[in-house]
Structure 1
Amino acid sequence: MVFLRNSEKKTIQSYIKKLPSLLEKDYGKAKYYTPMEIRSTIVSNNLCVEDLRFAIAIFSNQKNFESYHQEIGENCDYESMRKEIGDTFFNGNSQFSVLDFSYVSFDFGGDFDGGAGFSGGDFDGGAGFSGGGDGGY
């Protein structure tokens, strides 16, 4: 198992906080988005592009994730990334989808304060969130 670095955790927090509403605004509500939709939304909203693989692991399905990474020649393991993200943010649930964000956990000490399953920090809620929390490949 590869552990997420703090910088990756903060980027993933940002993706979880911002991308659901941005993707829905750009493409409508969906369980999954294509890697190019995710990339386009990240770029157009000036979010961190360096950890795009995590956003794609979160918001896309396995088939699209693997096709995208094969096309760009990057070796990423969808299942291990989802497991690590699930363990860190979704109470161990690696089968999460954008529709499951009420189960997000930022207990590793992030800067969030809002959303069901959260416990402390500066998170302000965001689309699909209600409540309070903390917020290598």
Structure 2
Amino acid sequence: MELKCPPAPTNKKEYIADIGKILVEEHGKKKYYMPEEVKKASKKSKYYDSSGIDWHCWAMCTFSSHSDFDAYHKITGEVCDYVGMKTEMLSGLATSTSANWLSIPDLDIDASWLDFGDIFDGFLEGIGEFISGIFDGL
């Protein structure tokens, strides 16, 4: 039987902000965080559900490298799609009602984790305009 990740958190912006803040406080700014660091941060976040629902995979697809994400899931036996999940998380951030979702008070994260290479590789021309539209004003 394949283990699958739970559905994405409803408020992606707040979830990612919470995890990002914990990661920076505990590990400093990095381009990527190890899956174990992300999982621990997720368990410390206000979004950790004591009933067992943990969205750590959703944070991992955002803050961990593709290769680390895949290696972690190979070990755990969970079937999670890095590109699909990261696309969903970033799309949730892009459609946020906030005009500038990185202007979250006291959040000091390195936006270099917004690595679009895996997500947009092979998409039609014009994707640059789409991305620049999302991140105007950063």
Give 1:128 deviation, angstroms: 3.5
> Where does residue 117 of structure 2 map in the other structure?
none
Q: Deviations over 1:46-89 (max 9, x none)?
A: 54252111000111010010011111100011011111222221
**Aligned alpha-carbon RMSD (Å):** 2.9
Q: Which has the higher contact order (CA 8 A, sep 6+)?
A: 2
Q: Deviations over 1:76-135 (max 9, x none)?
A: 110111112222213xxxxxxxxxxxxxx413xxxxx6x7248xxxx9634138xxxxxx
Residue 55 of structure 1 is aligned with which of 53, 59, 64? 59
TM-score normalized by structure 1? 0.60
The CA distance in 2 between the partners of 1:34 and 1:77, in whole Å, is 17
Give 1:21 deviation, angstroms: 2.1
* 2:96 counterpart letter in structure 1: F
SS state at 1:125 partner: coil
Cα distance change of structure 1 residues 86 and 46 upon mapping to structure 2, 3 Å threshold: closer
> Where does residue 124 of structure 2 map in the other structure?
none
The CA distance in 2 between the partners of 1:124 and 1:66, in whole Å, is 30
> Where does residue 129 of structure 2 map in the other structure?
none
State the number of aligned residues. Answer: 100
Consecutive unaligned residues in structure 2, runs of 5 or more: 1-6, 110-138
Give 1:13 deviation, angstroms: 2.7
TM-score normalized by structure 2? 0.59
Larger gyration radius, structure 1 or structure 2: 2
